[in-house]
Structure 1
Amino acid sequence: MLYPTTPDDLRRRRLIVAGIAAALLLIAFVTYALLVHRTHSPSTNAQIDTAQDTVELTPVETKPVITELPALRPTSDPETFAQQVAEAMFAWDTATLLTRTDHIEQLVAVADPTGESTPGLVADLDNYLPTQGAWVELAKYETRQWLTVDSVNMPTKWAEAQIQAGNELLPGTTALTIHGTRHRAGIWEGDPVASQHDVAFTIFLVCGPSYPECHLLRLSMLDKPLD
């Protein structure tokens, strides 16, 4: 039996249909939101992981490898030459590839061209440099040394020595006494250490008029300079 549809029935049906549509729309929106979240979450995590894995590398400062000593600059000035020789005598670093022989050869290169005083000069230099055994031991502590020159002066007794030598000395032969500070530095049990010590010695050299440039003859004993 059919009953006539009243206006109230139509309103209820419309409300029911509207409610169902709204519920479906809400379900669809929630489902979409979940899918979007799942799609983007791995990418975000990957970005975080990537950021955590990124490490800024700091360049390691490496010490330049020195395989050859520079030659002493030619000069005709006795004081300039004596200071160069003095600094070269004390400038060595056991942490490099250079040997004590390299340092001896650097100074023998500016020795007397006649070669007469060279054997004595080599013996003098041996007394200034560490022995080979000491050199190897110092290398374990990366020991290096250098000299600060405080003064370069002609000994007061040099004039007397020239008179006694007579004609045995070439013209332009002179003696200059160096006063300075010897510095040493190295590594001891992982910590840097340093020391300094006053030194004095006399350099015997010959310049003009015998030669256009100065040459090294002999050295006094360390800390026993010519007064």
Structure 2
Amino acid sequence: MKLPTALRSRRTLVALITASIAVILVTGVGVYGIIIGSRESAAPIGPSPSSTGPAAQPSRESPVQPSRIPTIPHSTVAETFARGVATALFTWDTGSGFLPLDYAEVILEVADPTGTEQPGLAADIATYMPTQDAWAQLRQCATSQRLEITSAHVPDTWANALAQARPGQLPAGAAAFTIAGIRHRSGLWNGDQVSAKQEFAFTVFIACPPDDSCYVLRLSQLNNPLR
């Protein structure tokens, strides 16, 4: 069960983490920082399907908007849960009426229940989401994004990380899955439907305690996964 105090102010947490992300990325905290060491800031996610050309047409939003973003299904199966996290991280629609913070909240709903890793996880998520300014530009093109997973496996180096971890350093059931796939984006440009795709890989660090649902610990830098 998640601690109420750890879940009470997710939106504020994400906003603060987004504002101070450079500092957090340099210092590094939690299990991912311990295992991997300090990391560099992730490259920004690309803008709209085309970065040059005439002004985009106004967005064409569906008159029926979803009332909420799909949640990540609870699971005791590590790979199933990791795939669910990846899908939630890479799936969004600028015409849905939601903002990047709303999509980030979905992942924080299944974060470390002790709250220890939540600040670091919020910082990780922020590097995957468009900024508010980029979101506004993408929204003009009615841009949406979805994920196609091509593989999910436990990286070879994870066994070494487990062997080198001190007693109590990692939570019960700690696991890592490197997810590879294709990020698909689509939108409108000058009245035409356009699309773009890009291959990616990253690692999801999770924990699946015995007889309990899995939860997220941290995310690696995009395209810098454990091998």
- Pairwise same-fold verdict (TM > 0.5): yes
User: Is 1:204 matched up with 2:218?
Assistant: no
In structure 1, the partner of 2:110 is 110
In structure 2, the partner of 1:154 is 154
- Give the Cα separation in 2 of the matches to 1:208 and 1:70: 24
- Give the Cα separation in 1 of the matches to 2:62 and 2:178: 38
Higher helix share: 1
State the shift of 1:120 in Å: 0.2
State the TM-score, normalized to the length of structure 2: 0.71
Is the CA contact 2:144–2:186 (under 8 Å) kept in the aligned structure 1?
Answer: yes
CA-to-aligned-CA distance 1:95-141 (integer Å, 9 cap, x gap): 11111111011000000100000000000000001011100110000
In structure 2, the partner of 1:189 is 190
- Give the Cα separation in 1 of the matches to 2:62 and 2:177: 39
In structure 2, the partner of 1:40 is none
CA-to-aligned-CA distance 1:42-75 (integer Å, 9 cap, x gap): xxxxxxxxxxxxxxxxxxx955212311221111
Moved more, 162-171 or 147-156: 162-171
User: Is 1:131 matched up with 2:93?
Assistant: no
Map of 1:21-60 to 2, 5 A cutoff? none
Name the SS of the counterpart of 1:225 in structure 2. Answer: coil
Name the SS of the counterpart of 2:166 in structure 1. Answer: helix
Is the CA contact 1:124–1:218 (under 8 Å) kept in the aligned structure 2?
Answer: yes
Name the SS of the counterpart of 1:208 in structure 2. Answer: coil
In structure 2, the partner of 1:27 is none
- Give the Cα separation in 2 of the matches to 1:64 and 1:179: 32
In structure 1, the partner of 2:69 is 69
User: What is the number of equivalent residue pairs in this alignment?
Assistant: 166
State the percentage of identical aligned residues: 43
Name the SS of the counterpart of 1:163 in structure 2. Answer: helix
Give the alignment's Cα RMSD to 1 decimal.
1.3
State the shift of 1:78 in Å: 0.3
Amino acid at match of 1:95: G
State the shift of 1:163 in Å: 1.8
The higher-RCO structure (CA 8 Å, 6+ apart) is: 2
- Give the Cα separation in 1 of the matches to 2:62 and 2:152: 36
Is the CA contact 2:62–2:95 (under 8 Å) kept in the aligned structure 1?
Answer: no
In structure 2, the partner of 1:171 is 172
Name the SS of the counterpart of 1:155 in structure 2. Answer: coil
Is the CA contact 1:182–1:197 (under 8 Å) kept in the aligned structure 2?
Answer: yes
Amino acid at match of 1:106: V
Is the CA contact 1:67–1:97 (under 8 Å) kept in the aligned structure 2?
Answer: no
Instruction: Mark the runs of 5 or more structure 1 residues left unpaired by the alignment.
Output: 1-60
- Give the Cα separation in 2 of the matches to 1:143 and 1:70: 18
CA-to-aligned-CA distance 1:164-199 (integer Å, 9 cap, x gap): 222201120010000100000000111111011110
Name the SS of the counterpart of 1:224 in structure 2. Answer: coil
- Give the Cα separation in 1 of the matches to 2:96 and 2:173: 37
The runs of 4+ residues in structure 1 deviating greater than 6 Å are: none
